Structure 1
């Protein structure tokens, strides 16, 4: 049985089960494929009050040194970093010092492969451990490292990490355009079969009925642009609709799927996305999606689901077009679990043969 040591900056925490759910999906899939996986969650040192800077940081300050997720142990290691990483050398040295603790935790267990999700700074430790055990290292970038990190003051560190790993994996064709030597393996859609629904034609009263809109993100995250979603709902109200809008704060996956079943449409207004995965989950749950032109949406969503401009009026037009439409929306095969499994198997086989 191949052993994989997986490091990640993002992973569900006891106080924040929504954090890094897509990484937990990948770990679960690897175990279903027969791999033995151990998970190390790299987290910055911070005070509870600092969690308020970003909603995604909820639960980080008090995360235990070790905890169980889905009956499997997860090791938490800490590194020192300042906001926006003004001293990348300090951060790099801090996280490298945690290699010994990981080694002690693993004991006699030795990995055949190190996999890291997110590059900075988790991949610094991943590279150190891969060198320690003389095994290959694969890095998966989910968006932020490439879309934001390559323009940040620590961009040279990210470029160095990309060059040093045996293979860079990205989750969308959009990211692959910026990193031509990467391999594209999208995050698969993890919606239980019993919760999957076909998209049905809307049956309410046109421009008079009630419309339940789901903003499928935490409204406190500035890059999700909740204000544009609110403006769109106001525009719909001027056309006669009675609109209710709700967001998805840091809640467990089952509640996310319940909300998707209860709403009429999902509205995505993000300024930056590599996917987004939540749009695929919405379609799987039978919830139609309207979005700005972001991430890989144009590659698989029908044209009438994409707003022609990034304005409330264009988004409202798209909402009404989707409500009128009888077109069936199906997820491409590349988002299915079986496709992801095959691609991962091919990648691991190739990398391990070289080592």
Structure 2
């Protein structure tokens, strides 16, 4: 829920961010970590980054500890901030006394990843969860809840028709946005496609638009948000912590219809138009029942019938990444004070 950020105070801090999530080769993997690092730097703090695994392969989870330890020894950092639980075991062996661990979703929700996270979080002085639901799942009553922020300067509403023309989309189309790479199973494009197919059966003007594309500039993301009528978010149950695209959509004034994952219910509380649809009561695996597909389609159809923008930008001003970065710095200073 919205919180008043602390006032800036104290000297600039030196921080080493250790993460296995970082954009590379045109991907958006870990873009939320990169944006937080950028926001902290904009506040005047000195942030270095050590990326483990990724291009080095999964073996680096086991072999990266000496490299991280050398950086900690040579860098004289105030804080070692670990982003994502899979990176925690290597950072734990670095021996830094002021370690902060941020947890994002699957590192808590996935049983196998949760085991590695637990192995690594011993000795951390503070844990940050991107949603209250995630902290509850982890059983961590002392964790801080700080959602990832959004660049409100970049993600602000523009002209829908201009955006459509720049993308070659007919003015009269009803555009449903998929906010991820369809090749990622956890994002559940299969469900999205089923809902869009049902919507097309009702109205042939409905078409899909894919947000993700390798190497596209961020300005193209903004155009796609502008061009769309609604974001339909369909991730697998238990897979998300605090989905960035949902928050970006609210900053853009784009209505959102979503399954109930992560912190979407809180982010979209009171935002209209839009809807959060509970998952069906049956098992998470397998094909979704036709009634669930129809329920999502009904909510999307309601939004498509209303041309108005959503009012999420004003309601969620607390998600501005600068305010979020100030809250992260306050956690740093609490750790140093303790």
Shorter-chain TM-score bucket reads: 0.7 to 0.9
In 1, distance between residues paired with 2:70 and 2:259? Answer: 44
In 2, distance between residues paired with 1:35 and 1:24? Answer: 14
Alpha carbons of structure 1 residues 27 and 138: separation in structure 2 relative to 1, 3 Å: same
- Asked if residue 110 in structure 1 is aligned to residue 91 in structure 2, the reply is no
- Asked if residue 80 in structure 1 is aligned to residue 59 in structure 2, the reply is yes
Q: Secondary structure at the match of 2:206?
A: strand
Equivalent position of 2:166 in the other structure = none
Contact 2:19 2:83 in 1 (8 A): yes
Equivalent position of 2:300 in the other structure = 319
Alignment equivalent of 1:276, drawn from 230, 243, 260: 243
Alignment equivalent of 1:226, drawn from 189, 202, 214: 189
Alpha carbons of structure 1 residues 307 and 199: separation in structure 2 relative to 1, 3 Å: farther
Equivalent position of 2:105 in the other structure = 143
Greater relative contact order structure (CA < 8 Å, 6+ sep): 2
The runs of 5 or more residues in structure 1 that have no matched partner are 45-59, 62-77, 82-90, 201-208
Equivalent position of 1:162 in the other structure = 121
In 1, distance between residues paired with 2:83 and 2:21? Answer: 8
- What displacement does 1:283 show? 2.1
Matched length = 293
Within 5 Å, give how 1:31-110 maps onto structure 2: 31-44=41-54, 60=55, 80=59, 91-92=61-62, 94-99=63-68, 102=71, 107=74, 109-110=75-76
CA distances 1:71-124 after superposition (whole Å, capped 9, x unpaired): xxxxxxx6616xxxxxxxxx53x2223346536xx84x311110010121x222
Q: Secondary structure at the match of 1:287?
A: coil
In 2, distance between residues paired with 1:169 and 1:100? Answer: 22
Equivalent position of 2:263 in the other structure = 296
In 2, distance between residues paired with 1:308 and 1:142? Answer: 21
Alpha carbons of structure 1 residues 117 and 305: separation in structure 2 relative to 1, 3 Å: same
- What displacement does 1:345 show? 2.7
Runs of 4+ in 1 over 4 A off after TM superposition: none
Equivalent position of 2:327 in the other structure = 343
Q: Secondary structure at the match of 1:349?
A: helix
The runs of 5 or more residues in structure 2 that have no matched partner are 1-11, 161-171, 281-291
Equivalent position of 2:93 in the other structure = 128
